[in-house]
Amino acid sequence: MNLKDKLTLVISSCEGYSDLWNNHVDLLNENWPDRSIDTVIVTDKIHEAKFSNVRVFPAGDSLEMPQRLYEFARTCETKYLLITLDDYYLDRPVDVNKINRAIKLMERLHLDYLRFWPYPHERKKIKGVKKAFWIDLNGNYKVNLYPAIWKRTFLKNTVKSNLSAWEYEVSLTNLAKTLNARCAYSINDEFHIVDIIRKGKLLHPAKRFLDSKGMSLDRELIERKQEWKLSLMYYGKEIIPKPILRQIKNMFIKRGHKFISEDI
């Protein structure tokens, strides 16, 4: 069976982020020009944008992001979905052999989810597989919305209620644990991205990347102080002892910052 019969590439988005689509598709076509799989932007409203090899699926403007993905998954026929977000831009060529390896790994190990992002780190290697690790489902954000291949049935089972995108991502790891999902991640450079937007604003490394590609976005640059804070809270979990990280978090809370997750 060909890859196109097994896998669909899904770009999750909404009308408010449609300004990201042209660059996203251009970089996708540049870095994966020979892809044969169906590629779909799942959004809320009907949009007139036309792409020769990417179609737009308007799921309904009354639906939140998780419910839009669910509606698409109901209509899709492939067993697996490679899900990415509109503000994750490909910056390296995609080797289809690595994508095929990922699908074979999911089939052999009966995986429900295979993340292509290294954070949070895990240390339990998958025996006999290079650069692949089992995900321990104790904690938060172990199953997240960074690029990953999902079994379509697993994705549908994670959408339980009318959660926002942020609430949904926080709930995913616990849901995966409840569903006895088999989850792993690979760092074989299958789908390498640049994170472009945070809190609706353009990140500084993303601005440099876009400049290098002769691209632009009409978005406000995030303040460096806010960018540093977000990076600290995300990547700090990997290197800073939890008691110290908790003190830093409490300092931000006293200054009025709100956190959805109680992970630290």
Q: How confident is the model at residue 49 (pLDDT cuts 50, 70, 90)?
A: confident
State pLDDT tens for residues 196-248: 999 999 999 999 999 999 999 999 999 998 888 777 666 656 655 566 656 76
- Hey, what are 131's tokens? 């650069």
Which stretches does DSSP call E strand in the chain? 7-12, 38-43, 55-58, 80-85, 88-90, 113-115, 132-134, 148-151, 183-186, 193-195, 197-198, 201-202
- Reply yes or no on whether the pLDDT at 262 is more than 70: no
Q: How confident is the model at residue 81 (pLDDT cuts 50, 70, 90)?
A: very high
**In the 8-state DSSP scheme, what is residue 256?**
T
What's the half-sphere exposure (Cβ side, CA atoms, 13 Å) at 123? 1
Place of tokens 């899904």: 10
- C-alpha to C-alpha distance for 31 and 93, rounded to whole angstroms: 4
Q: Are 137 and 173 a contacting pair, CB within 8 Å?
A: yes
pLDDT of amino acid 62: 94
- C-alpha to C-alpha distance for 23 and 27, rounded to whole angstroms: 6
Place of tokens 């919305």: 145
